[in-house]
Amino acid sequence: MDIGYARVSTVKQDLTRQLDALAAAGIAPELIHVDKKSGATRTRPGLTEALKQIRGGDVLVVHTLDRLGRTVRDTLNLVHELTDKGVGLRTLADPFRIDTTAKDDPMNQLALVVLALFGQMERTYAAERSGHARAVATANGRRAGRPSVVDPDRLEHATLLRATGATMADITAKTGLSRSTLYRHLPAALAPTLRA
């Protein structure tokens, strides 16, 4: 039996292309597991469910190898775990197709290592580009990252409470804002005193 797995890194990204490819490969929707979570961690509910469902003789099918993981070690460890269970791995859209059920094809091992390395390199370069963009934005006086979702009225209320000597417990109870949010958003002059 073929079991599908699809992953994107954030909830805002779209899985449609991967799901369409898995469906076109003949995998039933109930056999496709999905995650909207970084591939840098193995703690992914969809992957966990796929691994629970899969049995010896089955094949795990992914759109591309980097959907399984974004580090060489994690990806290769997962592939070895699958192999030890008698489970195959097949990719649908990698430039070098992987099908570990073809055990006598030496190109599978080479493709596996090369594509795992490319996935890790891509993740490293993306992190470097993001870091550089944040540094440039900060140097130019712009705030980098996601826009704040904190209600400005509640933040203003928290600032006034703190200025009048309210404790952190009082502020969080009255505004509904968490301690970490207050540390992040209150003016610097007030932030160091929030431990009270």
Rounded distance between C-alpha atoms, residue 169 and residue 185, angstroms: 16
Cα separation of 42 and 54, whole Å?
Answer: 17
Q: Which fold is adopted by the domain 2-124?
A: Rossmann fold (3.40.50)
Q: Could you state, in chain order, the average pLDDT of each consecutive group of 10 residues for the chain (196 residues)? A: 92 92 95 89 89 93 89 87 92 87 75 72 78 82 71 86 85 88 70 49
Domain range annotation of the chain: 2-124, 152-195
How does DSSP classify residue 164? T
Predicted confidence at residue 196, as pLDDT, reads 46
Q: What is the pLDDT of residue 141?
A: 77
169 vs 147: CA distance, rounded Å: 26
pLDDT attached to residue 146:
66
* Alpha-carbon gap, residue 81 to 31, rounded angstroms: 20
Instruction: Give residue 25's identity as a one-letter amino acid code.
Output: A
Instruction: Output the pTM of the full model.
Output: 0.64
Would you state the pLDDT for residue 17? Answer: 94
CB 111 within 8 A of CB 97: yes
Among all residues, which ones are annotated catalytic? 9
Q: Which residue has the tokens 């979702």?
A: 149
Tell me the C-alpha distance between 194 and 187, whole Å: 11
Between the two ends of the chain, the Cα-to-Cα distance in Å is 59
